[in-house]
Amino acid sequence: MDPTGAGRLRGFRAPAADEVPGPSTGSGNVVDRAGDVAGVDVVEAGPPVQERSRRKGSWRWLVVAGAALVVAVVVIATLAFRLGSVTAASDASSPSPTPTPAPTATPLAVPDLYTRVVPSVVLITTSKGSLGSGTVVTDTGTILTANHVVSGGGDLTVVFADGTKAPATVATSNPAQDTATLVPQKLPEVVVPAALGGGVVVGADVVALGNPLGLQDSTTSGIVSGLGRTSRTDTGTVRGLIQFDAAVNPGSSGGPLLDAQGLVVGVVVSIADPGKDDAFAGIGFAVPIGAALGGGGDGPGPGGGPQI
């Protein structure tokens, strides 16, 4: 039979030497070794059914996982968009408050403040009967006080917090600001200068230390009631003063006015006295520490401002 003719068996291979022809089926079909039947197209065998099933299953899982990932991304994006819209609307309707500046230092309780500063406060007396207070402001013992306490003349005596008593002389004074500095002739065993501060604001807490009516090392507290005040006294008019409501009385003049950190922010110089009886009427005045130190002065005795 011509293998190229019309009657050739499709898909039939010539048997190899080691192949044995299969038995005749009686119908004229010839079966090869692989089980091919003559007259039937032979298709190359693919992977086994189980392997194909596994591959199809893997592809299904990949498709499902990919779809789930896409859905998750869409859901997250939608939620984020809605949340952003709600936040933006809330921000637009409710403006953010301005942050409150943090305080620069921790305020001290009055007992702690008193314990820290009272070693720097001195009692001042004169042979002419004046009584006042002062503050040690340098490690060499320089004392800052009110000028009217020491301007009347007479011998000056200072008593330190530890009981040390010593004569003193006026180093500098500034009558316009009612401030002066003293130099004691003897110092206590331990000199404790007070720390000097800066400006104050209305409403700030303040503490006054001094010797009202001779009651040594007294303390009172209050707030700053006003700034830039003017006080008219028997010794002159002083401007640019701190008004405060901590109780002070005769003998408090020259003592320190402290802020909440225990820094000296003023020198107590006078009180409002509408009854002309030297009694505290709820208003005291202090020279700001900047003005007390800014008077200049270069020599001993009256005329120049405090120079610390």
Instruction: Give the active site residues.
Output: 148, 178, 253
Q: Which two tokens stand for residue 85?
A: 């819209």
The helix/strand count (H/E) of the chain reads as 4, 12
Q: 143 and 168 in contact (C-beta within 8 Å)?
A: yes
Q: Coil, strand or helix: which one is 265?
A: strand
Among candidate residues 13, 10, 9, 31, the one with its CA nearest the CA of residue 21: 31
Q: Which two tokens stand for residue 1?
A: 């039979």
What is residue 47's DSSP assignment? S
Among candidate residues 252, 301, 291, 213, the one with its CA nearest the CA of residue 134: 252
Q: Coil, strand or helix: which one is 8?
A: coil
Q: How far from 24 is each of 12, 15, 35, 216, CA to CA, in Å?
A: 15, 15, 13, 139
Q: Coil, strand or helix: which one is 53?
A: helix
Q: Which two tokens stand for residue 226?
A: 């006003």
